[in-house]
Amino acid sequence: MEVVARLLGLLALLLVGTGLRASGVLDTNRTARLNAVAYYVALPALIFISTYDRAIGDLLSPTLLFGLLFVLFSTVGLAWLVHRNRVSRPRQSVAVVQSYHSNLGYLGLPLVDATFNGDVTAVASVVLGVISLTQVPLTVLVLAVVNESETRIRREFVGLLKNPVLLALIAGLAVGSSSTTVPALAVNGLDIVGAFALPLALLCVGASLQVDLSAIDFGASGAVVALKIVCMPLLAWVVFSMLAVDDATFTATVVMFGTPTAVSTFVFANELGGDEQFASLNVFVTTLVSIASLFVLITLVG
């Protein structure tokens, strides 16, 4: 019942965000400011507080790195095979990237932190760092190549290296590996700030979701949902079971890969010639379906 209550709470916050946008309370500027607080303040605080007392060698192993990249690129390959015959290149490019590009920062890590213990959250922070460094440049590359869009991939990669989420992860692991003592007052303050990561993120996601029911492509969107929400976490389950990792690593990887398509894919699609309406629809659908699928995953791994 506790898991059900948590996930129903997630859905409620999403709907509140959507309602605030529809009523005009969360317009574009206010949503952007709220998003900045979540992205530059709350989420980095959560990541730092999850990793500052742990050495990097205890969290990032060759086995974990191999498993993460294997699941990611295997899903990319499946997505390319499934969507290769889409008539529209803008729609094809979006379908491919949204089949693997996970919402790890806004939904994945805060959800793990709210549901599991600190060991699982620490591993989830590392999963966020490794996959973000991989999936963001990959998404930019796929959209740019398929749509023949002009973009500076180097600029995108440099921007990624300045990402506050990744910088917080590096800082936390550096402090943990050096055994530096962090004052209790700072720890308590960051813990309080980090607790706002999930509700703020859900409000922002809800305010960003837009869907045009008349534009639904059931075949393409259904394939995206199947790959992102079903296939990717199932593949993670199989791979990390075979790798015989510890319980915290198994739980973190399966749940993180079970998150819906990231809202940022809509932004990338808009900038790089993708089908914007299709991208917005898939973010909405995968987020909605993931409420049920994450309940199943959390129940099973828990």
35 touches 204 (CB < 8 A): yes
Q: Is residue 273 a contact partner of residue 211, using CB atoms and an 8 Å limit?
A: no
- pLDDT value at residue 75: 97
Task: Give me the pLDDT at residue 254, please.
Answer: 96
How large is the C-alpha radius of gyration of the chain?
18
Contact 168, 47 (CB under 8 A): yes
Nearest Cα neighbor of 125 from 107, 105, 100, 96 is: 105
CA nearest to 58, candidates 253, 245, 237, 183: 245
Domain ranges of the chain: 2-301
Q: So what's the pLDDT on residue 155? A: 65
Residues in the chain: 302
In words, the CATH class of domain 2-301 is mainly alpha
CB 156 within 8 A of CB 137: yes
Extract the tokens encoding 280: 């917005």
The confidence score (pLDDT) of residue 111 equals: 87
DSSP H helices, 84-152, are 89-98, 109-115, 118-146
Cα 35 from Cα 22, distance rounded (Å): 17
Predicted local distance difference test score (pLDDT) of residue 158: 65
Give one DSSP letter per residue of 30-67, joined into a string.
Answer: HHHHHHHHIIIIIHHHHHHHHHTTS-HHHH--HHHHHH
> What are the average pLDDT values for consecutive 10-residue runs of the chain, which has 302 residues?
67 82 84 82 83 78 94 96 87 94 86 88 90 85 79 62 77 82 87 81 74 72 94 97 94 95 81 81 86 89 82
